[in-house]
Amino acid sequence: MAASAQKTQTSLIYRLYQWRLRKQLNQDQLPSHIAVIVDGNRRWAKQRMLEHAAVGHRAGAKKIPEFLGWCAGAGVGVVTLYLLSADNLRSRKTSELEELFQIIGELAAEISEIPGWRIQHVGEPELLPSQLRLALQTAEDKTRGNTGLHVNLAVGYGGRSEITAAVHKIVENHKQRGGTIDDLAEVLTPELIGEHLWTGGQPDPDLVIRTSGEQRLSDFMIWQSAHSEFYFVEALYPDLREVDLLRALRDYSRRSRRYGA
């Protein structure tokens, strides 16, 4: 009985703290696009003496729809989730990758069932197995007309590869129109490159969050994050709480953005 009462008291304190954090947010200065480096799933499993990293990846995937709901509730319009990098595809064991491919495919299908949300894959489809490519494409097609929360799933993604692909596309389009190298030099601008990125047409992330205490970009949205604010969370991703997001939003809303100045 005492344990139950203590649990109820802890829950009440937590809800009061959430309410307090929400009251401290500057509603006129909240991010429209949050990019998240989902990190710490493997360490989460290791800390619990679990043999398979897939257990941590599944715990992280279970948290994602909840996290997206928190973002949507806060009025965020776009969320980009860095789930699997191109570097991961070269460095992880085949058995772990195969399990991760299945988990991401299932996650994409789950999110696609949420009314109003739209899914977009950002990354190199040719790096992924056919089953995962199909799962991501199916989720995209199913949600294409939705106008609610826009969810970018960065899978097989690398920032340098994205910029390279954008420049290649610009050069190819210019060549098809009969342009010359001299002409291209005149029209090649940061704005044009931005339009041809995998996130072309979307706002750049206002806030980049990384979990697990690591403080590096890991080749994530290196073009789009030129003027982003950064926030690092100690919690491993499966342990992330709504108060962690609210703290990040509070911190962001109190900053004076300088855009490189």
The whole-number pLDDT of residue 11 equals 84
Would 10 be classed as within a structural domain? Answer: no
What residues of the chain score a pLDDT lower than 70? 1-7, 9, 259-261
Task: Give catalytic status of residue 88 as yes or no.
Answer: yes
Predicted confidence (pLDDT) per residue in 71-101, tens digit: 999 999 999 999 999 999 988 889 999 999 9
The whole-number pLDDT of residue 4 equals 64
The whole-number pLDDT of residue 3 equals 58
Would 94 be classed as within a structural domain? Answer: yes
Count of domains forming the chain: 1
Would 187 be classed as within a structural domain? Answer: no
The active-site residue, picked from 41, 88, 206, 244, is 88
Task: Give catalytic status of residue 39 as yes or no.
Answer: yes
The whole-number pLDDT of residue 1 equals 47
Would 234 be classed as within a structural domain? Answer: yes
The active-site residue, picked from 39, 204, 206, 244, is 39
Would 182 be classed as within a structural domain? Answer: no
Q: What is the CATH number of the domain that holds 127?
A: 3.40.1180.10
Would 82 be classed as within a structural domain? Answer: yes
Would 35 be classed as within a structural domain? Answer: yes
The whole-number pLDDT of residue 104 equals 98
Report residue 158 as tokens: 């690398």
Residue-range definition of the domain harbouring residue 224 = 29-158+203-254
The whole-number pLDDT of residue 49 equals 86
Q: What is the pTM of this model?
A: 0.93
The whole-number pLDDT of residue 99 equals 95
Would 259 be classed as within a structural domain? Answer: no
